Amino acid sequence: MMDTGQTVSPAAGGEEGGFVRAIGLFDGTMIVVGSMIGSGIFIVAADIARQTGSAGGLLFAWIFTGLLTIAAALSYGELAALYPHAGGQYVYLREAYSPLWGFLYGWTLFLVIQTGTIAAVAIGFARYLGVLFPAISAKTWIVAPVVISSKYAVSLSVQQLVAVLMIVFLTFLNTLGVRLGKLIQNIFTSAKALSLVGLVLLGVFVGRNAGAIAENFTHLWAVRGAQPIEPGANFLRGLVPVAAAGSGAFGLFVAFAVAQVGSLFSADAWNNIGFTAAEVKNPKRDVALSMAFGTLIVITLYVLANLAYLLALPITQIQTAPEDRVATAALSAIFGPAGAAIMAVAIVISTFGCNNGLILAGARVYYAMAKDGLFFRSTGKLNAKRVPGNALVFQGLWIAVLILLRTRHVNGTGAVTYGNLYSDLLDYVVFAVLLFYVLTIAGIFVLRRKRPEAERPYRAFGYPAIPLLYIVAAAAIMFVLLLYRTQTAWPGLVIVLLGVPVYVWWSRRGAGRAA
């Protein structure tokens, strides 16, 4: 289980069995940009503003996220060039530590990280399509909620149906070959990047609000309406103080660390191009460059978008935007009621392109796992179009399950409300995502010691300082989340650890077949 030998399986090195190398540098950059930009940038600013309490805090939170993400991308480049094969981060963890660590990442990716994100983006697509076509409603039932336990149910609303149909459609298109998948990605990523640029230009040059500018920038760091952040478990309440952005240096540190949950998740998926490395024309160069260029483009757009929000809306309006739709509030301030429809069109385009990239990339990880005997055997095969068609189908089926499953809440009056299971699961794995990033970047140090003779076409920028700074910063955020978001951090660890017995089972199953 803990073997750290240097044997690289066919999935991670050498011949990869027929993938088409069709992804160039521009295509790879579009996969990174398209996978990163979903709906988060249009929404999470409200929560970050409530946590940091100031215009300066909102901007700094995004700038810090940008620096952290760019540092990670520049560090990952070394691993991408060292192992330019299908599977990306799964392969890096396996080669740095052991097959167990690679499997735990792939297991969590399939169970929640990739599939849960795709489910959330699909529901976002359907929700904003519902702004344009009101019949697409979360309250119009095809199958009313069927209770399966006191806390869970299954249902099918028109909104859920549209989300599932989106997944089926994009999964089908991606089974037709990587060239079609990258074409869709290029078109929709270009469209949504231009939409975000348009939002920035409108906020900066058309929607400039003298009152908002005076409130936000005359008192850039004045804390207003900051939410107190309480310890995440009862047993911590006597040990850890309640924190808030305006309560001193410690409170400010906690507020910024907690705020990173929204901004880091909105900036996630920059590593997805590594999953598709077997299909990149010049993987030893272009995977690393795609990560760097794509991340830089997105982070620049994100910071400028938040600047546009602050030029159009006072910080108090950002904090209290209806349903946290900050971008919609900004456009409504410029165009009136038409702003909601304009924003809905932009988000529909954005979410469609985002899910295409996530669906395309995720299946390559399950393919690599299957090649190692750690996933269903059929997912390790390419179809006639030389893409992992079965892995795409398995991924799509699980996403549909996540969309259909609901959480069930009963309030004090007996009224029942329904949430989305994938939403809870995504909250749980934010901690795990950071943990895997830290382990992967630490893997650069491990592999330099284990394999000093290996060819490294690209070496981590600023090594060892920048990778080490990322590890320290991410570890500090994780520590705060353990204290103040305990209720979501520990279930994330449980999800990861549940993969250990599954790994043992798969390993023995694979050994039995080999025998």
pLDDT digits (tens, 9 = 90+) for 241-254: 998 887 888 999 99
Residue 16: φ, ψ to 5°:
-115, 15
pLDDT at 137: 92
With residue 417 as reference, give the H or E element that holds it.
Answer: strand 416-420
pTM for this model (two decimals) = 0.91
Classify each residue of 134-166 as buried b or exposed e, where b means 16 or more C-beta atoms within 10 Å of its C-beta. Answer: eebebeeeeeebeeeeeeebebbbbbbbbbbeb
Distances (CA, A) of 407 to 123, 218, 345: 15, 44, 29
Structure confidence at residue 16 (pLDDT): 52
From CA 467, how far away is CA 88, in angstroms rounded?
A: 18
- C-alpha dist (Å) from residue 350 to 165, 205, 212, 259, 335: 17, 23, 27, 23, 20
* DSSP letter (8 states) at residue 375: S
Note the pLDDT of residue 6: 40
pLDDT score at 13 = 39
What is the DSSP secondary-structure string of 4-50? Answer: ------TTTSS--SS----B-HHHHHHHHHHHH-SSGGGTTHHHHHH
Residue 324 in contact with residue 46, Cβ under 8 Å? Answer: yes
| Look-up of token digits 């050498």 | 14
pLDDT tens across 132-158, in order?
A: 999 999 989 999 999 999 889 999 999
Question: What per-residue confidence (pLDDT) applies to 247?
Answer: 81
pLDDT at 512: 59
Q: Which pLDDT value is given to residue 11? A: 42
Cα(297)–Cα(197) distance, integer angstroms: 11
Confidence (pLDDT) at 186: 95
CB neighbourhood size of 485 (10 A): 23
Provide the 8-state DSSP code for 271: T
CATH superfamily, domain at 25-136+157-404+422-514 = Amino acid/polyamine transporter I (1.20.1740.10)
Residue 268's pLDDT is what?
87
> CA distances (Å), 302 to each of 108, 116, 265, 296, 299, in order?
27, 23, 13, 10, 5
Give the closest residue to 118 by CA, choosing from 349, 353, 279: 353
Handedness of CA 76, 77, 83, 87 (dihedral sign): positive
Residue ranges of the chain whose pLDDT lies below 70: 1-17, 510-515
- The 10 Å Cβ neighbour count of residue 234 is 8
511 to 106, 107, 445: CA distances (angstroms): 19, 19, 31
Euclidean distance between CA atoms 180 and 17, whole angstroms: 20
